[in-house]
């Protein structure tokens, strides 16, 4: 059963693949904002996935986060999501991230519970025109 308070945490080591490279030579690559947001979203998803019914999953529908500090390649980053509200199929999370030195992100994220088969059928129909 989904109730506020469910939480999850994941930790990664920042790699070149999830870092920005457009600032030029001599600038240490750091965790990109899109990669940070993806990891916050997946942490929220993983928090509730064990509590969903068969054939259900969640999809992100709203992200409102700040990227507060840069995290260089090689440093660990930890992502946390805590379910704060359940309104029908809408789930709201408080999310945050820290690297080994400081808080790097904070904000809110919403996900909707979906029936995977129905969602897939709608996507297939849309793609077919």
Domains of the chain, by residue range, sit at: 7-128
pLDDT at 113: 98
CA-to-CA distance for 36 and 105, rounded, in angstroms?
Answer: 8
**Confidence at residue 90, expressed as pLDDT on a 0 to 100 scale:** 98
Long-range contacts of 32-35 (CB under 8 A, 24+ apart): 33/67
User: Which pLDDT does position 22 carry in this prediction?
Assistant: 82
Superfamily of domain 7-128: Hotdog Thioesterase (3.10.129.10)
pLDDT, residue 27, reads: 76
Q: What's the pLDDT score for residue 104?
A: 98
Regions in the chain scoring below 50 on pLDDT:
none
Given this model, what pLDDT does residue 32 score?
A: 97
Q: What's the pLDDT tens digit per position in 17-45?
A: 999 888 877 778 899 999 999 999 999 99
Which DSSP string do the residues of the chain spell out, in sequence order?
---TT-EEEEEEE--GGGB--TT-TTSPPBB-HHHHHHHHHHHHHHHHGGGSPTTEEEEEEEEEEEE-S--BTT-EEEEEEEEEEEETTEEEEEEEEEESSSEEEEEEEEEEEEEHHHHHHHHHHHHH-
């Amino acid at each position: 059963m989904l109730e506020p308070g469910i939480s999850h945490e994941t930790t990664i080591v920042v790699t070149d693949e999830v870092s920005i490279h457009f600032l030029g030579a001599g600038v240490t690559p750091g965790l990109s904002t899109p990669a940070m947001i993806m990891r916050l979203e997946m942490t929220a998803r993983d928090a509730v996935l064990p509590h969903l019914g068969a054939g259900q999953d969640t999809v992100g529908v709203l992200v409102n986060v700040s990227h507060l500090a840069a995290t260089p390649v090689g440093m660990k980053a930890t992502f946390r999501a805590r379910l704060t509200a359940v309104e029908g199929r809408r789930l709201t999370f408080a999310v945050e991230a820290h690297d080994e030195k400081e808080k790097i992100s904070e904000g809110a994220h919403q996900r909707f519970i979906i029936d995977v088969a129905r969602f897939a059928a709608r996507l297939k129909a849309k793609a077919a025109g």
